[in-house]
Amino acid sequence: MPELNKLGQEINEINRANGWNVIQPKQWEDPYKIPALLALITSETSEALEAFRKNDKLNFAEECADQIIRVLDLTAGLGIDIDAEVRRKLEKNKQRGYRHGGKRV
């Protein structure tokens, strides 16, 4: 099993052991569960931004890790092969032109 998928499973196991509910594929239909988890991912991004604003590199690194942990928790719980999806997206990005879309930033 590729590495990100393994990490996702480990994260799910840790969360279950710590008493947290881990999302399951059947919850895809729940109109609140996934948006709530996406909001938690966004909150970790906001915390990373605050660490950056305070020039706190250690906390910034931790908050970046929290983002990845939350994403892997979500994808593993839903049964998404995130390794394959990342690989597929990287291949797609290779085909894009230099600064595709004509955006300044």
Tell whether 70 is covered by a domain: yes
Domain membership of residue 102 (yes or no) is no
Q: What number is the average pLDDT over the span 72-94?
A: 97
99 lies in a domain? Answer: no
Indicate whether 1 belongs to any domain. yes
Res 97: pLDDT: 83
Q: How confident is the model at residue 101 (pLDDT cuts 50, 70, 90)?
A: confident
Question: Does residue 4 form part of some domain?
Answer: yes
- Residue 62's nearest CA partner among 52, 72, 53 is 52
Report the CATH number at residue 38: 1.10.287
Number of domains forming the structure of the chain: 1
DSSP string over 7-76: HHHHHHHHHHHTTPPPP-GGGGG-TTHHHHHHHHHHHHHHHHHHHHHTT-HHHHHHHHHHHHHHHHHHHH
On whether residue 93 sits in a domain, the answer given is no
Using an 8 Å Cβ cutoff, are 72 and 8 in contact?
Answer: yes
Share of the chain above pLDDT 70, in %: 99
Given this model, what pLDDT does residue 45 score?
A: 98
Going by pLDDT thresholds of 50, 70 and 90, the confidence category of residue 1 is low
Question: What is the residue range of 44's domain?
Answer: 1-9+31-84
Tell me how far apart the alpha carbons of residues 49 and 11 are, in angstroms, rounded to a whole number. 24
